């Protein structure tokens, strides 16, 4: 099966590619020569995933899937949420985003958080949504050098280490994106 992943985020594409089973061919935006940003103007994570998938379907008429992910921190009123990539400004700077979260939690005793991913799959004229959530806590300082985004400060429940301290295979056992992708793959198996 061949599907396009509607994201310009190379880190996400590599992560998803590493989880795909044999027989699944993932195309990227470079395969269709799309270099401009796909609009993400929805106020919700789900809405952005839908918007990106629909953009590809409308402009290229190709089966595709898109995801949107947000870090939701309890003590920050579930921020940064849909603004996770741009929490500290439009330049999408991971370090500045992390710093803003840590500053917001400086005096917080509740450091609970969750990562949420929504995948929108547009296939044969129908849309299907898949959700993946992983709960955990925000560390007081960054640890680990793997991953991207908030990985150095997010520790999934019962793991004892951040996503950034895990190998990609290890992260894929716990991650929100892996959980949403597993649901999508299970669905695809039922229709193939």
Q: Please say whether the beta carbons of 138 and 79 come within 8 A.
A: no
> Phi and psi dihedrals of 62, rounded to 5?
-135, 145
Per-residue tokens: 146 = 């793997």
The DSSP code for 147 is S
HEC assignment per residue over 69-120 = EEEEEHHHCCEEHHHHHHCCCCCCCHHHHHHHHHHHCCCCCCCEEEEEEEEE
Give the separation between CA 63 and CA 98, rounded to whole angstroms. Answer: 34
**Residues recognised as catalytic:** 68
Give the separation between CA 10 and CA 5, rounded to whole angstroms. Answer: 11
Give the separation between CA 33 and CA 17, rounded to whole angstroms. Answer: 19
Q: Please say whether the beta carbons of 16 and 26 come within 8 A.
A: yes
CA distances for 112 relative to 75, 99, 124, 137, 157, angstroms = 8, 17, 39, 4, 9
């Amino acid at each position: 099966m061949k599907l396009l992943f509607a994201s310009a985020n190379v880190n996400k594409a590599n992560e998803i590619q590493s989880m795909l089973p044999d027989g699944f061919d993932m195309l990227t935006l470079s395969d269709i020569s799309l270099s401009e940003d796909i609009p993400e103007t929805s106020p919700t994570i789900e809405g952005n995933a839908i918007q990106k998938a629909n953009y590809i379907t409308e402009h290229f008429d190709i089966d595709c899937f898109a995801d949107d992910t947000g870090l939701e921190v309890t003590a920050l009123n579930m921020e940064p949420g849909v603004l996770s990539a741009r929490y500290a400004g439009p330049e999408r700077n991971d370090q500045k985003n992390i710093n803003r979260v840590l500053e917001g939690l400086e005096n917080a005793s509740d450091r609970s958080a969750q990562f949420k991913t929504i995948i929108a799959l547009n296939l044969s004229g129908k849309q299907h949504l898949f959700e993946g959530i992983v709960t955990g806590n925000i560390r007081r300082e960054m640890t680990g050098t793997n991953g991207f985004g908030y990985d150095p400060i997010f520790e999934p429940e019962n793991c004892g280490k951040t996503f950034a301290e895990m190998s990609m295979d290890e992260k894929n056992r716990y991650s929100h994106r892996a959980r949403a992708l597993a649901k999508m793959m299970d669905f695809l198996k039922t229709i193939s």
